[in-house]
Structure 1
Amino acid sequence: MKLSIQDCTNEDQEYLVEKLVDYNLSKVQSEQSELFMDLIRKIEKDGKIIAGIIDFQAKEFYEKQGYEVFGQLDNCPRNHTRYYVKKYF
């Protein structure tokens, strides 16, 4: 399977952020005055992808795709665990 990464519009990005926030809020109660996504996915110059996921967001899927957990925050958000995963290309 050949995949390509394409730039998306600002409108596309805003839509994705809105839908991800909606989904996350459906799973955990918001305790923040502002909604934000601190780290979703970041592609760095050295070919590394970093993702911040919460325990209900398919951690096992990321691990099966070759991602490695490099950080964990317990009870963040309350009663959940936030994982940070990375993968090099």
Structure 2
Amino acid sequence: MKNYVIEESTREEYNLVDKGIVEYNLSKVPFTQEPSFIPINKVIKGANGEVLAGINSILYCWNCLYIDVLWVKKEFREEGYGTALLNEVEKIAKERGCKLIHLDTFDFQAKDFYLTQGYVVFGVLDDCPLEHKRYYMKKNI
């Protein structure tokens, strides 16, 4: 490799890289869903419209659901909001043909919660962050 520079990418370049890997993946394994990426994002609001909890997830390419974020406002934790959101996106994903859900969580977040919801740990990353663990979890539906 000669005569190159490494620069911060622009939004357009980010999209070009993203599109490149999607096209490569498609050349190796056909996608089984249309559209290829379906966001499934939900919130729970209180009577005054305040967001109390939310989940951001995406059903991608092969009918797999990736849960990116599940958050419940501190004073509403352990009241069933997380379970309700998880059940809602799982139901939607299943209706769309999903068979596999995956996510990651830290030891100071919600590993035990996900275990009660039928998820299993399939990988652990130690010292991420330092002196903590990051758990990779999945659930077959």
Larger Rg: 2
Q: 1:71 aligns with which of 115, 118, 123?
A: 123
Q: Does 1:49 align with 2:127?
A: no
TM-score when scaled to structure 1? 0.51
Contact 1:41 1:49 in 2 (8 A): no
- Measure, in 2, the Cα distance between the counterparts of 1:56 and 1:71: 16
Three-state SS of the structure 2 residue aligned to 1:85 is strand
Q: Does 1:81 align with 2:129?
A: no
Q: Which amino acid aligns with 2:135?
A: Y
Q: Which amino acid aligns with 1:68?
A: V
Query: CA 1:75–1:58 in structure 2 vs 1: closer, same or farther (change >3 Å)?
Result: same
TM-score when scaled to structure 2? 0.33
Between 1 and 2, higher relative CO (CA 8 Å, sep ≥ 6) is seen in: 1
Number of residues paired by the alignment?
Answer: 54
Within 5 Å, give how 1:1-89 maps onto structure 2: 7-8=40-41, 43=59, 44-45=62-63, 46-89=98-141
Unaligned 5+ runs, structure 2: 1-38, 42-55, 64-97
More strand by share: 2
- Measure, in 1, the Cα distance between the counterparts of 2:121 and 2:40: 27
- Alignment deviations for residues 8-34 of structure 1 (CA, whole Å, 9 cap, x no partner): 4xxxxxxxxxxxxxxxxxxxxxxxxxx
The alignment yields a C-alpha RMSD, in angstroms, of 2.6
Q: Which amino acid aligns with 2:101?
A: I
